[in-house]
């Protein structure tokens, strides 16, 4: 069957990295999507993703979104499409807004890797200072509150009710995470990074006792949400669930704050994609955000410095893997040259978090 017989405009789909055979993809969608979406008219890589790849597929019946693993070598246990799809299916209709799942494909032959489809959600990704410039200081404060409330909602999901009780093992979560990310570092690292070995020692020595287990997003931050703006900003959807599991909710909070920036973090702002927005007037400081979360959940956040350090460590390992793929010319999109230089900065920042909790630091 030819592409033309599927109604596919090959000139608008051919050459999109990560979709090897658009005609075959179009036929698969026609055969497996519950709704009649019509022909595939265009495929566009959505910029900004640094791990799994995200595409907008313009179908005759409206847009949908495709997610697949990155190009090149994929680290063990990473980029499991079925886990993301399971979370979206479980959370649909809950207090945590997510794109509705459409279909999942385990057959790597269709586009070159397993993938899944989800509904397209209309909303903005706020990543750069230019994106954030459209927010007033009042809206920035409201968005801080919405983000804290959303993180609290994720951690309040009734696991039994949504079918996620067996989604992971919460007990010993941080110890397993520390071991896992060390293994990922060994598989990705190609250069000496000052302070890394000492950081691992400090994190291992300071591991908190096992905490309660909740659903954790694993990469919750402003630019992993789709935001609608108006008199009061709202979160239309939380996306990028590839690292989700059951674990310590404070680890989720710590990672969120490892992306957060204060106005004085000029070098950090230049290096860390997504952090610039939170330094704009009206946004909470890291300490204020942590306190807001504590008020919503009743959790003790006095040890958040450790969790922020752990978040910086995890992010450093992730970016080192992306840097390795960039050096191997296996990334698609822009901005990957910034990831490598950010790694030693994250290691240094982690040590700073262990030395001084952000709760002790006042925002100017």
**Are 24 and 71 found together in one domain?**
yes
Residue 26's CATH number: 3.30.200.20
pLDDT of residue 178: 96
pLDDT of residue 357: 72
> Quick check: is 313 in a domain?
yes
**Are 106 and 143 found together in one domain?**
no
**Are 51 and 89 found together in one domain?**
yes
> What is the Cα gyration radius of the chain?
20
d(CA 244, CA 151): 13
> Quick check: is 137 in a domain?
yes
Residue-wise pLDDT tens digits, 264-314: 665 665 555 557 889 899 999 999 999 999 999 999 999 999 999 999 999
User: Any bridge partners for residue 130, and if so which?
Assistant: none
Among all chains, which residue has been given the structure tokens 């807004």? Answer: 97
d(CA 345, CA 348): 5
> Quick check: is 186 in a domain?
yes
**Are 10 and 86 found together in one domain?**
yes
Residue-wise pLDDT tens digits, 231-250: 899 999 999 999 999 999 99
Burial class (CB in 10 A: 0-12, 13-18, 19+), 288: middle
pLDDT of residue 362: 42
> Quick check: is 87 in a domain?
yes
Domain boundary pick from 64, 84, 119: 119
User: Any bridge partners for residue 191, and if so which?
Assistant: none
Give the domain range for residue 156. 129-360
**Are 104 and 235 found together in one domain?**
no
Residue-wise pLDDT tens digits, 128-162: 888 999 999 999 999 999 999 999 999 999 999 99
Beta strands in the chain (DSSP E): 40-45, 53-59, 62-68, 101-105, 115-119, 214-216, 225-228, 234-238, 245-247
> Quick check: is 25 in a domain?
yes
Closest to 68 (Cα-Cα) out of 26, 101, 114, 27 = 114
Residue 214's CATH number: 3.90.1200.10
**Are 95 and 228 found together in one domain?**
no
**Are 113 and 158 found together in one domain?**
no
Per the CB < 8 A criterion, the answer to whether 154 and 220 are in contact is yes
Cβ neighbours around 7 below 10 Å, total: 13
Residue-wise pLDDT tens digits, 298-357: 999 999 999 999 999 998 998 888 777 665 565 555 555 566 678 888 899 999 999 987
Overall number of domains in the chain: 2
**Are 150 and 62 found together in one domain?**
no
Q: Is 127 helix (H, G, I), strand (E, B) or coil?
A: coil
Per the CB < 8 A criterion, the answer to whether 271 and 316 are in contact is no
Domain boundary pick from 119, 149, 180: 119
Per the CB < 8 A criterion, the answer to whether 17 and 81 are in contact is no
Per the CB < 8 A criterion, the answer to whether 162 and 90 are in contact is yes
**Are 90 and 144 found together in one domain?**
no
Domain boundary pick from 65, 90, 119: 119
**Are 36 and 90 found together in one domain?**
yes
> Quick check: is 124 in a domain?
no
**Are 106 and 164 found together in one domain?**
no
d(CA 315, CA 271): 13
**Are 61 and 143 found together in one domain?**
no
Structure tokens at 320: 């080192």
Burial class (CB in 10 A: 0-12, 13-18, 19+), 92: middle
> Quick check: is 50 in a domain?
yes
């Amino acid at each position: 069957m030819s592409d033309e017989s599927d109604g596919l405009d090959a000139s608008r789909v051919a050459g999109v990295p990560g979709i090897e055979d658009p005609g075959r993809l179009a036929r698969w969608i026609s055969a497996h999507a519950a709704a009649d979406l019509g022909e595939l008219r265009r495929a566009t890589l959505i910029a900004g993703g640094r791990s799994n790849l995200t595409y907008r597929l313009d179908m005759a019946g409206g847009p949908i979104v495709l997610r697949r693993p990155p190009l090149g070598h994929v680290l063990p246990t990473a980029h499991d499409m079925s886990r993301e799809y399971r979370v979206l299916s479980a959370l649909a209709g809950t207090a945590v807004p997510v794109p509705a799942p459409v279909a999942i494909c385990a057959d790597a032959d269709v586009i070159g890797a397993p993938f899944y489809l989800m509904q397209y959600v209309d909303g903005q990704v706020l990543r750069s200072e230019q994106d954030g410039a459209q927010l007033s200081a009042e809206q920035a404060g409201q968005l801080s509150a919405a983000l804290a409330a959303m993180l609290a909602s994720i951690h309040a999901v009734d696991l039994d009710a949504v079918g996620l009780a067996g989604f992971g093992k919460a007990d010993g979560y941080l110890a397993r995470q520390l071991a896992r990310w060390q293994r990922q570092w060994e598989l990705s690292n190609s250069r000496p990074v000052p302070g890394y070995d000492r950081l691992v020692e400090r994190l291992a020595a300071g591991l908190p006792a096992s905490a309660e287990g909740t659903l954790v997003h694993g990469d919750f931050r402003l630019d992993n949400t789709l935001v609608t703006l108006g008199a009061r900003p709202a979160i239309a959807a939380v996306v990028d669930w590839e690292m989700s599991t059951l674990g310590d909710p404070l680890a989720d909070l710590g990672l969120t704050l490892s992306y957060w920036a204060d106005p004085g973090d000029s070098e950090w702002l230049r290096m860390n994609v997504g952090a610039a927005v939170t330094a704009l007037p009206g946004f909470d400081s890291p300490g204020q955000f942590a306190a807001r979360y504590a008020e919503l959940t009743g959790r003790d956040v006095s040890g958040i410095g450790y969790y922020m350090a752990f978040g910086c460590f995890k992010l450093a390992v992730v970016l080192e893997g992306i840097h390795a793929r960039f050096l191997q010319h296996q990334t698609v999109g822009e901005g990957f040259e910034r990831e490598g230089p950010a790694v030693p900065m994250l290691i240094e920042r982690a040590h700073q978090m262990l030395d001084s909790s952000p709760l002790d630091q006042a925002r100017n």
